[in-house]
């Protein structure tokens, strides 16, 4: 059974940094793409970032939404079966619940194409 558990959220000030973790069980990250989504109150779920599987060899492809490109960095530790989202230069508009999700193979920002989602971790950025 696939399980994703997010952690690392919190309340910070504008310009601060946070690192979110997504610990995966029941799957091997080599074969799965892991995406980060976020949802703010009253808004639709928004794709943030994705790190693809390594099936084709070499470094996995990473993708970012325009709203976080240059500020957020996605990475993974295969030994810990964990994906990270390093968030720098946080802004109030980054306030949301952040979720990670899995699918086999390549990245997409279509949340409907993902299988399991974690329970989410709250990120609050105050000005």
Residue 57 in this model has a pLDDT that exceeds 90? no
Q: What is the mean pLDDT of residues 23-46?
A: 95
The reported pLDDT for the residue numbered 45 is 96
Give me the residues paired with residue 122 across strands.
97
The sign of the torsion formed by the CA atoms of 59, 61, 63, 69 equals positive
pLDDT at position 100, please? 98
- Band (pLDDT 50/70/90 cuts) for residue 105 is confident
Residues 80 and 25: their CA atoms lie apart, in Å, by 10
pLDDT at 59: 81
> What is the percentage of the chain residues whose pLDDT exceeds 70?
98
**How far apart are the C-alpha atoms of 68 and 61, rounded to whole Å?**
16
pLDDT the model gives residue 13: 98
Mean pLDDT, range 117-127, rounded to an integer: 97
- 56 has pLDDT over 80: no
* Residue 32, pLDDT score: 94
- Encode 54-91: b = buried (16+ Cβ within 10 Å), e = exposed: beeeeebeebbbeebeeebbbebeeeebbbbbebeebe
């Amino acid at each position: 059974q696939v399980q994703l558990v997010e952690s690392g959220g919190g309340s910070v000030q504008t310009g601060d940094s946070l690192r979110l973790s997504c610990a995966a069980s029941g799957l091997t990250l080599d074969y799965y793409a892991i995406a980060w989504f976020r949802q703010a109150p009253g808004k639709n779920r928004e794709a943030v970032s994705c790190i693809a599987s390594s099936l084709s060899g070499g470094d996995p492809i990473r993708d970012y939404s325009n709203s976080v490109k240059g500020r957020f960095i996605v990475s993974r530790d295969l030994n810990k079966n964990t994906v990270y989202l390093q968030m720098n230069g946080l802004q109030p508009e980054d306030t949301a619940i952040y979720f990670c999700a899995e699918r086999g193979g390549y990245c997409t920002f279509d949340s409907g194409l993902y299988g399991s989602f974690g329970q989410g971790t709250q990120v609050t950025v105050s000005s």
